[in-house]
Amino acid sequence: MSGERGSGGGSRIPSSRLGRLYHMGRATGDLALGVGLRQLIERARDREATGPVQLSPERARRFTERLGQMRGAVMKMGQLMSMDGADLLSPEVADIMGALRQGAEPMPLSQLDSVLKREYGRRWQERFRRFDFTPIAAASIGQVHYAEAPDGRALALKIQFPGVRESIDSDLGNLRFLVRSFGVVPEGVDVEGMLAEAHRELHQEADYAAEADALEAYAEALGEDPDLTVPRVQREFCTPRILAMDYAEGIPIHRLAEEAFSQAERDRAAGLLSRLNLRELFELGLVQTDPNFGNYLYQPESGRIVLLDFGATHTVGGELVAAYRRMGRAARDGDRQGLRESAAALGYIDAGTSEAEVEALLELLEMTSEPLRQAGAYDFGASGLFERVYYRGRAMFLDQQFSRAPAPETLFLHRKFMGTFMLCRRLRARVDIAALMAEHLGEGGEASYT
* Residues acting as catalytic residues: 290
d(C-alpha 6, C-alpha 3), whole Å: 10
Q: Minimal CA–CA distance to 314: which of 284, 346, 270?
A: 284
Q: What is the dihedral of CA 111, 170, 175, 314, to 10 degrees?
A: 80
d(C-alpha 359, C-alpha 338), whole Å: 13
Inter-helix orientation angle 37-45/17-35, to 10°: 80
- Three-state DSSP class for residue 46: coil
Position 151: which residue type? Answer: D
Q: Minimal CA–CA distance to 274: which of 437, 152, 55?
A: 437
User: Do residues 378 and 430 lie in contact, with contact meaning Cβ atoms separated by under 8 Å?
Assistant: yes
Ramachandran region, residue 71 (left: φ > 0; alpha: ψ -120 to 50; beta: rest):
left
User: Do residues 268 and 186 lie in contact, with contact meaning Cβ atoms separated by under 8 Å?
Assistant: no
User: Do residues 234 and 303 lie in contact, with contact meaning Cβ atoms separated by under 8 Å?
Assistant: no
User: Do residues 447 and 433 lie in contact, with contact meaning Cβ atoms separated by under 8 Å?
Assistant: no
